[in-house]
Amino acid sequence: MDSLEIKGGVPLHGEVQISGAKNAVLPILAATLLTREPCVIHNAPNLADVKTMCRILESLGATTSIDGGTVTVQAAKVRDFADYELVRKMRGSLCVLGPLLARLKKATVSMPGGCVIGTRPVDLHRKAMEALGAKVEIDKGYIVAKTRKLVGGEMFLGGRAGPTVLGTANAMMAATLAEGITVIEQAACEPEVVDLANFLSSMGAQIHGIGSPTLTITGVKELGGAEHEVIPDRIEAATYAIAGVATKGEVTLKGARPDHMKAVLEKLRESGVKVEQSKGNLTFKRGRGLHSVHVTTLPHPGFPTDVQAQMMAFMTQTPGISIITERIFESRFTHVQEMERLGAEISIEGPSAIVHGVQKLSGAEVMASDLRASAALVIAGMVAKGTTRVNRIYHLDRGYENLDAKLKKLGAKIRRVPQ
């Protein structure tokens, strides 16, 4: 596996173009299984996960092509079996369950893989499919769903840590072709869910309450092809913003959506960061002084769990004590031990990380455990004095388009070391 070698202490300066959202494009690609007609998806990021999803669609019988940032999919004929060898690579592949069940009235999908950040059960996905009239079983590591027909129903998708994003996506996609009306209570409100709903609407789906916790879906007999542009990646945007201010630099994000980043922008301002908005761009730089802050991850519109690790890297540079409480995933502090290797002072108390601001970090060799932890370690490495080597960076290639190239353009001393 490749690694990244970083020479720290260099402020980032310049502009960076924000790519399409990984967490939006994957369910949108899965939704193309709902129609026999071609679908064209623009602003798709060049990511390992996107290529994996295309391979999954092809294994199901669809044809796909990628031309720059445009993915074209046509699922004229599909089969109902999603194999373990592909699905195990990422959690997002689970979202083929709803479309397959809606289109074929049966689906066999392997239990998914992805980052090791805590328990992510499939119980709400199962609950959603059963509410539409399907019989669902777990057999030899596969989710097996069958029905003679899907019928609209009512479901509540609130879980232990709030609404389920992928579960909402699966339920919404399945309900588009169900007979009658489906009502989803406690639906996820993330921008990526809204983007999927807008794509489904462009295909001919009847969805009301988009962006709210209550979705009402009136099933239609069939959906048609559509053309759609994926929203910008709010997590990538937050990562570069934090990297800029953590390194004492100034970074301008091109194409970011501030309306998707309200909680992150609020916490950065609270910590002493200046945020300027002009002509569709967002610029981030430090103010006169930094301040410690307290952050709690919550479902949207709360502070996103996918920015928690990056924010922690920044908090090591703020004076005083900051507290980060993780309310979504119980095992999402695996980056703490690696940050301590760089000189961070962090202690874990239950669901909270107590971060003491330090004078400096020192370069060291560290190991990435998941996608966002990888990004946080890269940020910490750019802050640290000396050389840091971040190992096992395949996670980064799953979720960040050309991360090292974009950072180089901003002035970072970073290079990819092939293994």
Structural domains in the chain, CATH included, are 3-19+232-417 (3.65.10.10), 22-229 (3.65.10.10)
The two beta strands, 70-74 and 81-82, are: unpaired
Cα 88 to chain centroid distance, Å, stands at 17
Q: How far is residue 348's CA from residue 353's CA, in Å, rounded to a whole number? A: 5
Cβ atoms of 233 and 17 closer than 8 Å:
no
Q: Which two tokens stand for residue 309?
A: 């690790």
pLDDT of residue 332: 79
pTM, whole model, 2 decimals? 0.95
Residue indicated by tokens 């290639």: 397
What sign does the CA torsion over 238, 399, 418, 377 have?
positive
Is residue 115 among the annotated active site residues?
A: yes
Q: Which of 39, 95, 115, 189 is catalytic?
A: 115
**Strand ranges across the sheet with 154-156:** 154-156, 181-185, 214-218, 206-208
The tokens of 276 are what? 């300027």
Q: What gap in Å lies between CA 89 and CA 114, rounded to an integer?
A: 6
Helix axes 234-246, 308-315, angle to 10 degrees: 10
The per-residue pLDDT for 331 is 66
- Residue of 63, 75, 124 lying closest to 104 (CA atoms): 75
Q: In this structure, are residues 412 and 10 in contact, taking their beta carbons and an 8 Å threshold?
A: yes
pLDDT at 279: 85
Residue in the structure block whose two tokens are 């990628």: 66
CA distance 34 to 408: 41
Query: What is residue 118's predicted lDDT score, i.e. its pLDDT?
Result: 39
Low-confidence ranges of the chain (pLDDT < 50): 114-120
Identify the pLDDT of residue 115: 44
Phi first, then psi: what are they for 404, rounded to 5°?
-65, -35
Cα–Cα distance, 376 to 76 (Å, whole number): 42
Q: Of 3, 1, 15, which is closest to residue 417 (Cα–Cα)?
A: 3
Q: Residue 159: its pLDDT value, please?
A: 85
pLDDT confidence of residue 220 = 98
